[in-house]
Structure 1
């Protein structure tokens, strides 16, 4: 009987921890990576990453950072309510770039941990 009660209490504790972890805002992207394919040096391309706040509290995006000035993000400044959708627009300028490019974008918000999305492309150089 003690063993059954102990097992039950451990299971109940595990459920409580899972429920506690699920509280708060959660940013869930429809896609985490976007591939532009081949583009030509000098092209400017952009993609819209759509996300949903799948948590139970408003999501506030504090900052969206990139590793290069060639990548410019635009994000909502107002809170995203639980269950609502939002989008982050990422623009990439290929001027001076060549070959395969992988650009990570880090989203800092009031969610539990930072989230990362990325864009990739292959920049072709015209031989004139």
Structure 2
């Protein structure tokens, strides 16, 4: 057992003392300068400002498709990138957004189409994936969906009564 411990100790000594290079010689000064510049501007995120963050379609008849445009502006100091826009369900479809970087001060818009299906008060969220400090932004649409007055009335199903013997 003493031989095993002595052998492992000798192996560890060789492993820890065999490194002859100094770690500071491996640092690339160009990488240090690039990292310092990146860190200095890391707090300089773009800022997205919407004309409205919630659009109300008002009262609509069930099944009536509606759409709106959300307009936004880059009010930050660096280019704004909107890489994706998605909604909470398939009944709300965002489209036509600018995938190119938006310079500070520039504006853009995207379209949101809602198929008008539902019953009562309906609210849907649309999430933008951006390079802002939060990483995502949310806008909403809402509406009150009422029944179609021209739709055929549903007749209640007849209850099925089973006899117990």
Q: Tell me which protein shows more strand as a share of its residues.
A: 1
Question: Aligned residue pairs: how many?
Answer: 108
Extract unaligned runs of 5+ from structure 1: 1-18
Computed over aligned residues only, the root mean square deviation of the Cα atoms, in angstroms, reads 1.5
86, 91, 99: which one aligns with 2:113: 91
Provide the residue aligned with 1:108 in structure 2: 129
Consecutive aligned runs of 4 or more in structure 1 exceeding 6 Å deviation? none
Provide the residue aligned with 1:32 in structure 2: 53
Question: Taking structure 1 as the reference length, what is the TM-score of the superposition?
Answer: 0.79
Question: Taking structure 2 as the reference length, what is the TM-score of the superposition?
Answer: 0.62
Q: CA deviation at 1:24?
A: 2.0
CA distance in 2 between counterparts of 1:27 and 1:60 reads 10
90, 93, 117: which one aligns with 2:139: 117
Q: CA deviation at 1:99?
A: 1.1
Extract unaligned runs of 5+ from structure 2: 1-40, 152-165
2:97 is the counterpart of 1:63: no
54, 59, 64: which one aligns with 1:43: 64
> Larger radius of gyration, structure 1 or 2?
2
